[in-house]
Amino acid sequence: MANEMGLNPEILKSLVEQKMPFGKYKGTVLSNLPVSYLEWFNRKGMPPGKLGMQLHTLYEIKSNGLEEILHQLKQMK
């Protein structure tokens, strides 16, 4: 399903493995970040680089009701 949507499999995999490196949710796996936090980043500006790409991808997944992708990735882990 993820590849059909044109999403990078490496970025998707990292969403269920990598932890937030700073801030209020430091140490939280990215896929477990609340939508409100992702919305805040979307308003204020995503961090630069890979983390920004990951958070933007996660924001798009969660805000479009596609969290099933994350559940599938967690099961594949």
CB neighbours of 69 closer than 8 A, spacing ≥ 6? 1, 2, 7, 12, 61
pLDDT in tens, 9-68: 888 999 999 999 999 999 999 999 999 999 999 999 999 999 999 999 999 999 999 999
pLDDT bin (cut points 50, 70, 90) of residue 6 is low
β-strand partners of 29: 19
Count helices and strands in the chain by DSSP H and E runs:
4, 0
Record the pTM.
Answer: 0.86
Report which DSSP code applies to 29. B
